[in-house]
Chain A
Amino acid sequence: MIDFSSVKPDDILRVTDETKEHEIATSVSASMDCASPDLVKVKEVKEKSVIVVAENGTEYEFISDTEGSLKELDITGATKDFPLEARAETTRA
């Protein structure tokens, strides 16, 4: 389970991966369709997810999960585990 306790609104998150940094960053870049793909800003911290805003204004929800391959997310200097699944599409309701 991801610990979101240190994440707060307006934090800048850098999406990286320990072993596949370029691949992950490229993938996130494509899905987020923005110039600096790996940088997103935290809009809202929820119980099991973080809503972030990419440079183009598009919002994404990063989901915490209990299993799955993990990549890392640098949070303004800190390092947190973050599930690879976070890049997966999500919906609501």
Chain B
Amino acid sequence: MDFPNNWQRRCALTVDHTKVPINVVDAVLLLTETNVPAEMLDGGIYSSRSDGGDIRCSSDKAGTIQLAMQIVSITTGGSPALEAYVKVPLISSTVDTVYYIWYHNPIATMPLATDPYGSQACFVDFKIAYHCNKSGANNPDASANVNDGTLSGGTSDVAGKIGRAIAFNGTTGKCLSVNNIGITNGDRTLSFWVYLNNTNQNSMAGWGSNVAHGQWNACIRNLHWYLWAYGVDDWDLGISPSTGAWVYVVVTYQASTDFHRFYVNGVEQTAHGSPVTWVANTTNSLFELAHQLDGANNYWMNGSLDEVYVFDNLKPAQWVTYKYNMFNSPGTFQTEGTPESVTGSFFLMFR
């Protein structure tokens, strides 16, 4: 069914420019029950389908410019819940950005992941995008690379920072991507939400092998945040992580300067110097969560991970701030307007 014909409800969504310190092209924005119309999820007369198959977004009010989306999870009626993402062509740092969400079309179905407006188009700029909404032993990658993670050992599905997350038991649980990450000595950005149960030595996320400068892992070591290179130039940030709370971590590497930066909850960590410089020569390998193999020793993360992203490019500090604002408080990052009926279109259902 061609969008927007036969969609019956529409609502403006406004991104607060004060939460966006940099212009962002093809911004992938989070939709939750806190920033979409309540009627869309209440199971009532204007509600979306229970599987979210009729939820669409557009840049313009007329619906001529459809946007790529992914519905990760949805609950309508009862206790409404939503985790969805939409790729908006541009969000501005100087003026609020308005776009539109459409719903209530009982015969619409969600585009396939590979469709032009499907999930892979939404996450096309990502090397890996794990929502950590696992299915059995599979941790699906939303990006077009389809580099899913395979879970093993002690893992479980738990409430996340956004939607669901994956908990690792600290003794055997880990996740390994199906394919090599394909990033060796170039720019990169790694971001994720982590909930630590303790500060035992571990690797939260990363890749590489045990050769000098061959690892690139965001870790906990010496009870501190730690960027692991292997052999030399490891970076002990000298700052103890919080436990028992969700924390947003971003690590970047800029190949032209060899600068490494480490951000926690949107703030660059500079207590032990930053940026720290070494030449990353990371071994191309599988991307791994919650486990570190250091020589003959295994170290495991006891905690949970959510929204794990990898990019093969450098994100600036302003991007980190924007993403932190978006994830940490989606209801203030973006607000819904007043829903309205879409005039000039109707449909009949024949039984």
Complex CA distance for A66 and B27, rounded to whole angstroms: 17
Complex CA distance for A65 and B316, rounded to whole angstroms: 21
Contact with B along A60-93 (1 / 0, CB 8 A): 0101111110000000000000000100111111
> Is there an interface contact between A61 and B318, defined as CB atoms closer than 8 Å?
no
> Is there an interface contact between A93 and B89, defined as CB atoms closer than 8 Å?
no
Which chain B positions have C-beta within 8 A of A64? 90
Residue B259 lies at the interface, judged by CB distance under 8 Å to chain A: no
Complex CA distance for A67 and B96, rounded to whole angstroms: 10
> Is there an interface contact between A63 and B311, defined as CB atoms closer than 8 Å?
no
Complex CA distance for A46 and B26, rounded to whole angstroms: 11
Complex: chain B residue closest to A65, CB-CB:
B92
* Interface magnitude class on chain A: 10 to 19
Complex CA distance for A92 and B95, rounded to whole angstroms: 17
Residue A48 lies at the interface, judged by CB distance under 8 Å to chain B: yes
* Nearest CB of chain B from residue A50's CB, rounded to whole Å: 11
Most buried by A among B23, B27, B94, B126: B23
Out of A66, A67, A85, A93, name the residue touching B24 (CB < 8 Å): A93
Interface residues on chain B, number (Cβ under 8 Å) = 22
Out of B24, B65, B318, name the residue touching A92 (CB < 8 Å): B24
Out of B95, B126, B318, name the residue touching A91 (CB < 8 Å): B318
> Is there an interface contact between A93 and B28, defined as CB atoms closer than 8 Å?
yes
Residue B25 lies at the interface, judged by CB distance under 8 Å to chain A: yes
Complex CA distance for A93 and B189, rounded to whole angstroms: 12
> Is there an interface contact between B315 and A91, defined as CB atoms closer than 8 Å?
yes
> Is there an interface contact between A49 and B25, defined as CB atoms closer than 8 Å?
yes
Contact with A along B277-315 (1 / 0, CB 8 A): 000000000000000000000000000000000010101
Which chain B positions have C-beta within 8 A of A61? 25
Which chain A positions have C-beta within 8 A of B315? 91, 93
> Is there an interface contact between B22 and A92, defined as CB atoms closer than 8 Å?
no
Residue A18 lies at the interface, judged by CB distance under 8 Å to chain B: no
Residue B39 lies at the interface, judged by CB distance under 8 Å to chain A: no
> Is there an interface contact between A90 and B95, defined as CB atoms closer than 8 Å?
no
Complex CA distance for A67 and B319, rounded to whole angstroms: 22
* Nearest CB of chain A from residue B172's CB, rounded to whole Å: 33
> Is there an interface contact between A91 and B94, defined as CB atoms closer than 8 Å?
no
Residue B233 lies at the interface, judged by CB distance under 8 Å to chain A: no
Complex CA distance for A65 and B91, rounded to whole angstroms: 9
> Is there an interface contact between B22 and A68, defined as CB atoms closer than 8 Å?
no
Which chain A positions have C-beta within 8 A of B25? 46, 48-49, 61, 63, 90-92
Contact with A along B22-58 (1 / 0, CB 8 A): 1111111000000000000000000000000000000
Which chain A positions have C-beta within 8 A of B93? 88
Which of A's residues lie within 8 Å of B, judged by CB?
Answer: 46-49, 61, 63-68, 85, 88-93
Can you report 28 A-B residue pairs in the complex whose CB atoms are below 8 A from each other? A48-B89, A49-B25, A63-B25, A63-B92, A65-B92, A65-B94, A65-B95, A66-B95, A67-B94, A67-B95, A68-B95, A88-B22, A89-B316, A89-B318, A90-B22, A90-B24, A91-B22, A91-B24, A91-B25, A91-B318, A92-B24, A92-B25, A92-B26, A92-B27, A93-B24, A93-B26, A93-B27, A93-B125
